[in-house]
Amino acid sequence: MGQLLFLSSGQVRDNSSQGIADTVRLQLQLQYGPAAGKQYYAWLLPDQETPEAPAILLGTVNRRGQVGLVTYSDPQHTNLLASTSRLLVTEQDASITPLSPSTDHRDWRYLAAIAQIHPSGTAYSPYSLLDHVRHLLAKEPTLEDHGLHGGLVIWLERSTSNLIEWSTSARDDWRTGSNTTISQMRQQLMRLLIALDGISYAPRELPANTSYAGLVDPPIGNIGLLPIEPGQDAFSLVTDVDFHLQGVAASPGVSTDQQQESAKILAVMDRINAWLMKARDDDRRLLGMTNQQLQQPMALSLLNDLQMNAVSAFSGQIDQTTGTRQEGAQWVFQEAQRLAEMEVTLA
């Protein structure tokens, strides 16, 4: 009977979940309108396990023919997906806006929810569909432990964005060509490696007796983009995004649309991983050069390739063979919000 989508307003703050999934859009197929003196009210409800948490009034349902529409943006840009997972549309008194949804089931008209069923006997057993979606779009425990709020896909986007800044700066330093700027270039290259590998693994690749303290902000520097070793226990953004995307597709209660969306995003994640691995290879080769070698044309060629792969991982590129666009992490963040779609049914 309709769909509810979570969207982001774009009022995103660094190191915060604000501005992510802070807007919802509801569309209903209306069989009939409310009775005289009544109005349809749309509410976001908390999880079934925490029914005492307050409901959020999204507003009245605006009717356009047989279609009902509601759009709501949280005034504080709070991540709504972090605390709500159900929709209820009630028919209540139109003269006074209710403070809470009616508890009389006879007033209920439409329902929707993100499934909270935990599968058994699989790698995804601890997680429901709601858990996977929240890890991606609202909050993820390992990130939260490091003070990083907002879910996996926003930090995938933010981390790849940093790669563009540092790789571009390193290439600019080459063009200046002085000993001072070559030293600055090396610092940018070390920043890149720490962002790609994570602080636990990057020092193995850095020159001996190198101080890397302060090169990358500690919270995000602790989280690597790439899994560097087979079976690596350390957290990596690419690996965990993939895990939860696969978990979405395998979850009880998942819709066909969500499964297709997950597969589409996973295909893009494969390309992002390939671009990041190429960037890492370029970065390691550059860090292995002497200062004299870093001033040669070969270094510029590697710097150009490094910067191109960083840009591709973030914003994608055009496939020169097919002319089609291959998307990056920026697209993944926007598209992943479709995984939080709720299918509406009659109450």
Residues 242-288: tens digit of each pLDDT: 999 999 999 999 999 999 999 999 999 999 999 999 999 999 999 99
* pTM of the full structure: 0.90
315, 330 in Cβ contact below 8 A? Answer: yes
Q: Which residues of the chain have pLDDT under 50?
A: none
Give 237-290 as a DSSP string: HHHHHHHHHHHHHHSTT--HHHHHHHHHHHHHHHHHHHHHHHHHHHHHHHHTS-
User: What would you measure as the largest C-alpha separation in the chain, in angstroms?
Assistant: 83
pLDDT at 188: 93
Give the burial class of 334: count Cβ atoms within 10 A of its Cβ; 0-12 exposed, 13-18 middle, 19 or more buried.
middle
Please say whether the structural domain 2-113 has been given the CATH code 2.60.40: yes
Amino acid in the structure at residue 167:
S
The set of residues, in sequence order, having a beta carbon less than 8 Å from that of 13 and lying 6+ positions away, is: 19, 77
CB 235: neighbour CB atoms within 10 A? 19
Measuring CA to CA, which residue among 170, 127, 121, 156 is closest to residue 300? 170
d(CA 93, CA 256): 37
Q: Where are the domains of the chain?
A: 2-113, 134-339
pLDDT at 13: 72
For the CA atoms of 148, 151, 154, 159, the dihedral, rounded to the nearest 10 degrees, stands at 50
Residues 128-166: tens digit of each pLDDT: 999 999 999 999 998 998 888 889 999 999 999 999 999
- For CA atoms 230, 232, 237, 239, the dihedral sign is positive
CA distances, 211 to each of 42, 205, 206 (Å): 56, 13, 9
pLDDT at 232: 52
